[in-house]
Amino acid sequence: MKYDYRSGAVISPDAPADSLEAKAPYIDNGTSRRDPSRYYSKDFMQREWEDMWTRSWLIAGVSSDLRRPGAYFTFDIGGESILVVRTKEGAVNAFYNVCPHRGNRLVLNERGTLPAFSCSFHSWRFNHQGEALEITDRETFRPQTLQPCPSLTALACEEHAGLVFICMNPEPPPLEQAIGLPPEYLPTYEIDKMVVVRHISSEWAANWKIGVDAFYESYHLHAVHPETSEIMGDLQVQYDLYPNGASRMIVPFGQVSPRHHDQLSVNDGLKSMLASAGIDPDAFSGTAADVREALHRAKRARAEQLGLDYSKFTDYQLIDSWATGIFPNVQIGCHPEGVFLMRFLPHPQDPERFYYDNITMIRPSEVAGRQPPDWFGLPEGTDTSGNTRPATEHVPLGEPANLGLVLDQDSFLLPYQQKGVRSRGFKGAIFSEQEARLRHFHTELDRYLEGKK
Ligand code: FES
Ligand SMILES: [Fe+2]
């Protein structure tokens, strides 16, 4: 196979240069191999904390979890817990989730709605601006101990495209610039109009970057997820790199992998995609090569019937997976019906553990027929009305996360890679251009660690 590593595969060669689908300009991140200790060393983990996690913007949660005034959530990262709250003026504020009195953790729940935050130790109370409303037995404090009046410690917090970002850096860079994607990229999906319908946080026995790496390429599909070869063009994936560590891969859906033995038959996987788009697979007269066209036509036609506005989406954007990486630790699988938001959260102490946080969001099903496609993998009976925000399901290490076959395959594999990167015989990852996003991610991380950010 001939492969131009500067362009790789391109989904729509005729896409206008300023469209979101266009192949992003080539970025050369070199060819070097990195010391594998970055995947297991405690010292490296500590440097990441000091130089990267506490300096970069991080996605703390989603705006739809903060609809009402007083709605809050907590976001745990490393050893920190951050409290994010919607004020009655509609702003979002973030504070370190710690009581200034004696350091008790202020809010213990993951999310909820409260008129004020009350500490469980001595009942000090704080408003949504972080100011002390009540200091119990105030007269028993000598006045100078309460000067200035104790308050919660705030940190930078901003919303963009339905996502809530925080930054522990007292001088954060401009958010949109830091995200690195074209400004209209995320807003196109209207994540602010979506609701969380499933949230699973499972613990995996690997470094968080082993997680990012695995989800940033489609090179492993043929080996780890062979069943995807019926419906995903794993060698036609378009890999795009953007500034500040952001990246994207467009995985073409409804296309048989060129590695698959049968390129013509409309296989079971394609049939199920046709059915999801409202096409009777038994009445479909084309071959496998006609499925993609049929899928986007059917989806657009149905959107018009249902009064959905798909005008901002290109044809293939309606059917392909636009897996979009935001540095350092988030990938969003973007689809017009909904998004899969995955976060790779480091364990607070152990560099060889991480939390895989998987949030499924959809447009609420207020319009009949607006159910997410089957391949969203939502369990039977999932409430898609948007009326109830499900609790986060926490899955301990070693227990099946019920994330579906594909993710179970990854969670089985990654601990073996974690063991392998510790071997004296391993000399650092060798990246192909199908793994350009991994190199891009590690290059950005190194910029932080080298003090260039
Ligand atoms: S530690 Fe919070 S009120 Fe004492
Ligand atoms: Fe995978």
- Residue 60 backbone dihedrals phi, psi, to 5 degrees: -85, -25
Q: Of all atoms in ligand 1, which is nearest to the CA of residue 103?
A: 1
> Mean pLDDT, the chain, as a whole number?
94
CA distance linking residue 128 with residue 92, whole number of Å:
9
Lowest mean pLDDT among 4-8, 221-225, 264-268, 385-389: 4-8
Distances (CA, A) of 323 to 210, 251, 318, 320: 17, 8, 13, 9
What's the pLDDT at 305?
A: 80
- For residue 414, how far is its CA from the centre of ligand 2 (angstroms)? 9
CA distance linking residue 385 with residue 366, whole number of Å:
7
Confidence of residue 387 (pLDDT cuts 50, 70, 90): confident
> DSSP for 185-236?
TTGGG-GGG-EEEEEEEEEESS-HHHHHHHHT-STTHHHH-GGGGGTB-TTS
What's the pLDDT at 146?
A: 98
Q: Of all atoms in ligand 1, which is nearest to the CA of residue 106?
A: 2
**For ligand 1, atom 1, which residue shows the shortest CA distance?**
102
Q: Does the C-beta of 318 come closer than 6 Å to ligand 1?
A: no
Closest CA to 246 of 352, 193, 305, 175: 175
Query: What is the Cα Rg of the chain in Å?
Result: 23
What's the pLDDT at 400?
A: 79
- For residue 153, how far is its CA from the centre of ligand 1 (angstroms)? 14
Record: fold of 57-168: Rieske Iron-sulfur Protein (2.102.10)
Lowest mean pLDDT among 47-61, 337-351, 374-388: 374-388
Is the pLDDT score of 375 beyond 90?
no
Q: What class is the 36-55+186-449 domain?
A: alpha beta
What's the pLDDT at 306?
A: 76
- Report helix, strand or coil for 159: strand
- pTM over 0.75, yes/no: yes
Q: What is the mean pLDDT of the segment spanning 190-197?
A: 94
- Report helix, strand or coil for 160: strand
- Residue 375 backbone dihedrals phi, psi, to 5 degrees: -70, 0
DSSP label of 423: S
% of the chain at pLDDT higher than 90: 85
Is the pLDDT score of 1 beyond 80?
no
Task: Express each pLDDT in 139-164 by its tens digit.
Answer: 999 999 999 999 999 999 999 999 99
Is the pLDDT score of 368 beyond 80?
no
Q: What is the mean pLDDT of the segment spanning 46-59?
A: 98
Q: Does the C-beta of 42 come closer than 6 Å to ligand 1?
A: no
Q: What is the mean pLDDT of the segment spanning 299-310?
A: 84
Q: Does the C-beta of 141 come closer than 6 Å to ligand 1?
A: no
**For ligand 1, atom 4, which residue shows the shortest CA distance?**
122
Contact 87, 127 (CB under 8 A): no
Q: What is the mean pLDDT of the segment spanning 168-191?
A: 97
Contact 218, 427 (CB under 8 A): no
Q: Of all atoms in ligand 1, which is nearest to the CA of residue 119?
A: 2
Q: Residue 189 burial by CB count (10 A; 0-12/13-18/19+): exposed, middle or buried?
A: buried
Task: Express each pLDDT in 233-253 by its tens digit.
Answer: 999 999 999 999 999 999 999
Is the pLDDT score of 346 beyond 70?
yes
Is the pLDDT score of 332 beyond 70?
yes
Is the pLDDT score of 415 beyond 60?
yes
Q: What is the mean pLDDT of the segment spanning 350-373?
A: 83
What's the pLDDT at 307?
A: 74
Query: Would you kindly state where each structural domain of the chain is located, as residue ranges?
Result: 36-55+186-449, 57-168
Q: What is the mean pLDDT of the segment spanning 23-39?
A: 97
SS3 labels along 95-138: EECECCCCCCECCCCCEEECCCEECCCCCCEECCCCEEEECCCH
Nearby residues for ligand 2 (ion, Cβ within 5 Å):
410
Confidence of residue 378 (pLDDT cuts 50, 70, 90): confident
CA distance linking residue 444 with residue 453, whole number of Å:
9
What's the pLDDT at 366?
A: 60
Is the pLDDT score of 203 beyond 70?
yes
What's the pLDDT at 184?
A: 95
Is the pLDDT score of 292 beyond 60?
yes
Query: In terms of residues, how long is the chain?
Result: 453
Confidence of residue 5 (pLDDT cuts 50, 70, 90): confident
Q: Of all atoms in ligand 1, which is nearest to the CA of residue 104?
A: 1
**Per the structure block, which two tokens stand in for 292?**
């993609």
What's the pLDDT at 181?
A: 98
Q: What is the mean pLDDT of the segment spanning 170-174?
A: 97
